[in-house]
């Protein structure tokens, strides 16, 4: 594809305007309804858990005095420590995992193009088998609720 060249010779990529009713975003939306069982090529793998957004993790680190929060590298390190602390101190290390999921929202990338937003997710169930789709035990749910407060667990789609 030939992009128009500005006077300095660097190509300018074309702008992208997504349609107003972008149907691709519909399948990225989190839901409270359990999805059908996973079938490769037919039904996508979804995970059930708690979205740990950047804002949530930053606030958690600040509230629990975890690490320095003055530079991006310190924030990234503090987030890792916070996630480890959340799972191990609440006995969730064997009942959960951390995955990247779509939040169902759009944000502009560095070029101003709208792209799906991601978040880390504390996963406690998935739709791979009927047993896994039933969700966590009441004990795991109670521990997660104590740790995460008002966050609501939902079914999320993972990238890929």
- List residues bridging with 100 in a β-sheet: 120
Distance from C-alpha of 148 to C-alpha of 66, rounded to nearest angstrom = 16
How confident is the model over 99-152, as pLDDT tens digits?
A: 989 998 888 888 888 888 899 999 999 999 898 888 888 888 888 888 888 888
Q: What is the mean pLDDT of residues 34-62?
A: 90
Higher pLDDT, 35 or 91: 35
CA-nearest of 84, 92, 97 to 156 is: 97
Let me know if 99 is exposed, middle or buried by CB neighbors in 10 A (0-12, 13-18, 19+). middle
- C-alpha dihedral (105, 109, 115, 117), degrees to nearest 10: -40
Cα–Cα separations (whole angstroms), residue 87 to 14, 20, 104, 141, 157? 44, 39, 25, 13, 21
Residue 154 is classified by DSSP as E
pLDDT value for 12: 47
pLDDT value for 156: 94
pLDDT value for 23: 66
Instruction: Report residue 53 CA to chain centroid gap.
Output: 7
How confident is the model over 76-113, as pLDDT tens digits?
A: 888 888 888 888 878 777 778 889 899 988 888 888 88
Instruction: Report residue 63 CA to chain centroid gap.
Output: 21
pTM (2 decimals)? Answer: 0.76
């Amino acid at each position: 594809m030939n992009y128009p060249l500005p006077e300095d010779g660097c190509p300018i990529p074309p702008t992208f305007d997504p349609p107003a009713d972008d149907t691709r975003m519909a399948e990225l939306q989190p839901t409270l309804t359990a999805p059908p069982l996973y079938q490769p090529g037919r039904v996508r793998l979804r995970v059930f858990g708690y979205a740990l957004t950047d804002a949530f993790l930053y606030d958690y680190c600040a509230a629990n005095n975890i690490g320095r929060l003055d530079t991006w590298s310190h924030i990234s390190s503090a987030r890792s420590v916070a996630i480890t602390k959340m799972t191990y101190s609440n006995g969730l290390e064997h009942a959960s995992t951390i995955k990247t999921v779509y939040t169902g929202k759009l944000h502009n990338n560095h070029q101003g193009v709208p792209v799906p937003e991601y978040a880390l997710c504390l996963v406690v169930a998935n739709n791979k088998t009927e047993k896994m789709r039933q969700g966590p035990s009441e004990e795991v749910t109670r521990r997660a609720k104590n740790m995460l407060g008002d966050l609501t667990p939902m079914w999320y789609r993972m990238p890929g």
